[in-house]
Structure formats: structure tokens, C-alpha cells
Amino acid sequence: MPLEWSGLSPELLLALDRESAEGLRAQLERQIRDAIRAGRLQVGERLPSSRELARRLGTSRGLVQDCFAQLRAEGYLTTRVGAATTVAARACPQPAPDPEQPPVPRLIADFRSGVPDLGSFPLTDWLWAMREAGRALPTAALDYGEPRGAPALREVVAGYQRRVRAAAADPARTVICSGYAQGLRLVLRALAAHGVRTLAHEDPGAAGATSLAAAHAGMTAVPVPVDEDGIDVRALEATGARAVLVTPAHQWPTGVVMAAGRRRALIAWAQRRDAFVIEDDYDAEFRYDREPVGSLQGLAADRVVAIGTVSKSLAPALRLGWLLCPPALIESVVAFKDWDDRGSPTLDQVALARLLASGRYDRHLRRMRTVYAARRAALVEALAAHAPGVRLTGLAAGFHAVAHLGAGCDEAHVVAEAHGRRVGLYGMAANRSAPAGTGGARLVLGFGNVSERAIAVGIAAVADLLAG
């Protein structure tokens, strides 16, 4: 498909050498011909008008028209009355088409976790916030901003975290980042600069991504088991680590909520070991069966780094998040952020600040809690109807649950067979550091981006596999 450039006369890089023995028209013909042959100009692309090209090159319009006429005669260009001059369909050999690939069957239900309902993104509210941000943005704000982030967003995020998550948030120690991945990298590099060499992480958890991030920071990652109360602090103590990554509000992927006693033990460990806790607060906004739990960071702001984003509450494409940093790490984190990218895009930050401060963000969250609660109920009902022997856990928050399969089920076999039935299922084994088969066959069922009807149809299609 040819590129459609806007404007009356698209740009085209051509240069004429008036000191050359080759005539100007010959040079122009050769350069356009070479551009077409080399693929710089592709079939169907428009050329500048003869008048505009002559003005840019400092030649007569007649010379350009004669050049175009010659190239049309050679089959390189084509012109229709009232239309621009374009590259002809047979101007140069076309690459052989890629061999036909069999169509990938569309899934009737994809239970991929970690994805919010993308169709419910509040586009109207976001466009309003962008307009408001652009309308009120001072000219000086278009310069390179503070690496820690736009003051307006840091103020609003800190206030929001204090109000909703009971965090000890200070705008001066809040750093805006480009999502969770960058936030984690910044924190790990800051910890490494402070002499931390081992990072502990939950098992099961995001073992692969965490180990890679730790390695890039020059650290070693070690897994620590999770039980029904959260991370095992005694096992953590035995690792000798001075940093740990946890998901206390809704553990990824088991869904357990870290118990109050376990939280106190974790903070005591950090204080005793001169260690730091990294809190991934990834989907704490969505709770159903119990009272909201506060942020771990609010219990020990000098020992906990909280990472939050709008990837689950709004959409991953926004690439906006924040770090609530302890005093000991803030300067290092800001320095690494400055080296990374000089700061996240200012206009997007101010727009998010407008969205949060206006109450539209809260309104969106209230609506999405209702949506996810209905999908959660649909998943429970579908399994009760079609596979009553399957036990669900991790339903207190977020938009994924864990399905415990029957004793005779092979996790990998279930996943493969389900895909053949056009249902996307995902096993727990991919999130474990322990060997495959440890802990029994389990599935991580995401329901954030699956409609209630698709949930019912998908579970019905694989019910016999789940039952074992």
C-alpha cells in the first residue's frame, strides 16, 4: 500500500551539482530514477509538483516538466489529469510476495492475564485531559523538564496515593517513570549503586523478567516461596538478600493478600538487615471480597519503594507510572532517570494530572470495578456449571484468578489442547522458579479483557480438559 503524504507537495531529497559536467536535467532524471530503483520511492507514492520542485532546486519549471515527461515515457512515472505525478505500477521489479501463511484461527476466548479491558479505555476523558493540558501549558514547560517528573503530576499522584492507598507519599520523593519496567530498572540500579548485590523475589512470580532486570543491574536474583499469607520471611532471611520485590496487595500470580503479621515481619526484616522492599502495587485498585488494604510503603517509607502505574487502571499504551522513593535512594533514582531519557513526556504527564484531579479517573475506576466484578462472577459461574471440581483462588482483587486442576491433569497438555480448541489458557509453571510439576497443575485465568459471553463459551469448550 503506497504511503499517503499529507500536504500539496511532499518532500523529496534531491541535490543538483552545478559544477558537474552532467546537465541539470540529466542529474534530476538520474536521481529520481535511482530513488525509484532503490525503493526510496515506492509504487504509488506522490512526487512534488513541478512548480514546487523547481522552486526548491532553483531551476525552471520547464526543466522539471521535461524531466517528468522523460520518466513517464520510460515507464517510471504516471500522471492523471487533475492528479499528482506518482511512481508507476511497473516502475521497478516488485519483491516476490511472501509465501501464503495459513490463517491463525481466532481464539473464542483468551484468558491472558495482566491485560485490562482495552475497549473500555476512557478515550473521551483522555482527549479532554490532553486538550486541557495543552491549553494551560506554559511555553516554558515545553523545554526539558525535571527528570523526576512534572510537578503537577507528582503533586497529584502523591495526594492520590495518600488518599487511596494510605501511602506516606511526598511529591519531592516521587519520580514519574515510563511504566513498571523502567521503574524497576531505575530502582535496581540505585540499589546496586548502594552496594546491594542480591535481589529476592516471590516464587511463583514474574521470575523471568525480574531475573533479567536484576542481571542488567549487576545483581543476582533468588526466589523465595509464597504461602497463603504471602512471602515466607524466614526463607527470605536465609537468602542473605538486602532487597526483595513483592506484590502484597494481590500477589502475582497466586492472588493471595499479604497478611498483616507477615507485613510487620517483612518490615522488621528490612530494618534489621538495612534492606529495602520494592512494592509492586500493580492492581490494588480493584478489590471485591474484602476491605481495601493499605500500601506497604505507608508502614515504612524509609525502607519501601512503591511502584505504581496506570497500565492496569487505564491502558499499558500510556507508559506512565511512578516511584515513591525512600530518602536514601531518591537522588540515585533521579540521576538514573535523567541518564535514561531526561524525563517522561511532559504533555502526557500534565494530562494524567488533569484526569486524576478532575475526578474522571475515579469515575472510570468505579465503572471498571463493576465490569470486572461481573466478569469475575461469570468465571465462577462457568466453572461451577461445567467443571465443578476445579477450585478457584486469588479472587479477592485484580482481574485474574488461579484455577487448581484435578490430580490427573497435566498442565502443559491442558494448555496445548485448549489452544487447539481456540481457547487461550496459561499455566502457572511459566511463573515458577521451581521445576515443572511443582505445586500441582494450575492455570492463571485472566478475565480483564474477556467478555462475559466469551468466558462462558471458552470454559464450556475446555471443561473436560479442566476436570482431568
- Per residue in 16-54, pLDDT (tens digit) is 899 899 999 999 999 999 988 888 888 888 888 889 899
If asked whether residues 142 and 61 sit together in one domain, one would say no
The answer to whether the CB of 265 falls within 8 A of the CB of 244 is no
Domain-located, residue 156? yes
Q: 170, 278, 263: which is closest to 217 by C-alpha?
A: 278
Residue 94 in domain: no
User: Residue 48 sits in a domain of what CATH number?
Assistant: 1.10.10.10
Q: Are residues 236 and 334 both part of a single domain? A: yes
Do 220 and 367 lie in one domain? The reply is no
User: What is the rounded distance in angstroms from the CA atom of residue 295 to the CA atom of residue 280?
Assistant: 10
Q: Report the distance separating Cα 221 and Cα 367, nearest Å.
A: 38
Q: Clarify whether residues 350 and 386 are in a common domain.
A: no
Residue pLDDT, tens place only, 314-367: 999 999 999 999 999 999 999 999 999 999 999 999 999 999 999 999 999 999
- Final residue of a domain: which of 327, 342, 358? 358
| Position 5 pLDDT exceeds 50 | no
- Is residue 279 a contact partner of residue 307, using CB atoms and an 8 Å limit? yes
Q: Give strand pairing partners of 177.
A: 321
pLDDT in tens, 431-444: 888 665 566 889 99
Query: Are 352 and 380 found together in one domain?
Result: no
User: Which of 138-142, 182-186, 250-254, 340-344 has the highest mean predicted lDDT (pLDDT)?
Assistant: 182-186
Instruction: For residue 83, name the pLDDT band (cuts at 50, 70, 90).
Output: confident
pLDDT computed for residue 342 by the predictor: 92
CA-CA distance, 443 to 414, in Å (whole number)? 9
DSSP symbols for 59-114: S-HHHHHHHHHHHHHTTSEEE-TTS-EEE-TTSSPPPPPPPPPPPPPPPSEE--SS
Q: Which residues pair with 309 in a beta bridge?
A: 321
Q: Could you give the CA distance from residue 376 to residue 455 in angstroms, rounded to a whole number?
A: 9
CATH value at residue 411: 3.90.1150.10
Give me the half-sphere count of Cα atoms (radius 13 Å) on the Cβ side of residue 393.
Answer: 14
Structural domain range at position 294: 122-358
Based on the fold, state whether residues 323 and 195 are members of the same structural domain: yes
Q: What is the pLDDT of residue 1?
A: 45
Would 19 be classed as within a structural domain? no
Structural domain count of the chain: 3
- pLDDT tens digits for range 258-308: 999 999 999 999 999 999 999 998 877 787 766 667 899 999 999 999 999
Confidence of residue 9 (pLDDT cuts 50, 70, 90): low
Residue 64: inside a domain, yes or no? Answer: yes
In-domain check, residue 103: no
Torsion angles phi and psi, residue 434, rounded to 5: -75, 165
Cβ-Cβ contacts under 8 Å for 77 (sequence gap 6 or more):
32, 47, 68, 71, 85, 86, 87, 88, 91
Domain at 204, CATH number: 3.40.640.10
